[in-house]
Amino acid sequence: MQVKGLPCRSTRAEALAGIATSRLASAPKTLKNQERDTKNMKSLGIGEGIALNMKNKQACFSHKSDEWETPQNLFDELNKEFKFTLDPCSTDKNHKCNIWYTKKENGYCCKWNGSVFVNPPYSEISRWVEKSFYEKDNCEKIVMLLPARTDTKWFHKFIYKQYGIEIRFIKGRLKFSNSKNSAPFPSMIVIF
């Protein structure tokens, strides 16, 4: 379920949590409002196990874009190993490779080759993962920085148990270059 204006959610419970927390984010936090928040979340079928950390929630819902700029130190570490030549999901300001595509050039529609680094727009993860899966035979390597959403269709169809694909889970939460807070989700590196 995609909720307009919110990051892509992978389960109904997470989507409902996003709706509930975004509606409640602007309300003053009095004891009465906190009790109402808890009741609303319970009425939506969201258990206490999905309680959201307010700092992470603010990071998630205050991000004005679905473009999460790759932390430079993470990119540098991966670049030492893979020697990237193409960044198909970037802007003129945040590109990481000598060859890059912006939204205007539409890297999704272009043919890829060489060693490719992909940090896709997080509202379109599924289509970029599928694109990477089908482009892998044209490239030396395709390395994706993704949220670790192992319960999604795209993860099971194009990544999990696929021949020759490596998954590296990142310990802790990344702090993306254009964010004040750590990401509200765990991340992984997927190598096609």
The alpha carbons of the chain give a radius of gyration, in whole angstroms, of 18
CA–CA gap between residue 8 and residue 152 (Å, rounded): 11
Q: Residue 1 domain-assigned?
A: no
99 and 163 part of one domain: yes
Which tops the pLDDT comparison, 110 or 8? 110
Check residue 37 and give its pLDDT. 46
- Which domain, by its residues, includes 55? 12-62
Q: Is residue 171 predicted with pLDDT exceeding 60? A: yes
Question: Taking the CA of residue 115 as centre, how many other CA atoms within 13 Å lie in the half-sphere pointing to its CB?
Answer: 11
47 and 99 part of one domain: no
53 and 128 part of one domain: no
Which tops the pLDDT comparison, 40 or 1? 40
Q: Which of 15-19, 79-83, 122-126, 178-182 has the lowest mean pLDDT?
A: 15-19
Structure confidence at residue 178 as a pLDDT band (50, 70, 90): low
Q: Domain holding 180: CATH number?
A: 3.40.50
Q: Residue 132 domain-assigned?
A: yes
147 and 122 part of one domain: yes
104 and 76 part of one domain: yes
The predicted-structure confidence for 69-114, as pLDDT tens digits, reads as follows 899 999 999 999 999 999 999 999 889 999 999 999 999 999 999 9
Rounded to 10 degrees, the C-alpha dihedral 167/188/117/76 comes to -110
Report how many domains make up the chain: 2
Q: Which residues pair with 115 in a beta bridge?
A: 141
Q: Residue 2 domain-assigned?
A: no
110 and 155 part of one domain: yes
Mean predicted lDDT score pLDDT of the chain: 75
Check residue 20 and give its pLDDT. 36
Check residue 149 and give its pLDDT. 96
Q: Residue 54 domain-assigned?
A: yes
Q: Which of 16-20, 152-156, 184-188 has the lowest mean pLDDT?
A: 16-20
Within 8 A by CB and 6+ apart from 191, the residues are 141, 142, 143, 144, 165, 166, 167, 168
The predicted-structure confidence for 114-125, as pLDDT tens digits, reads as follows 999 999 998 999
Q: Residue 81 domain-assigned?
A: yes
Q: Is residue 170 predicted with pLDDT exceeding 50? A: yes
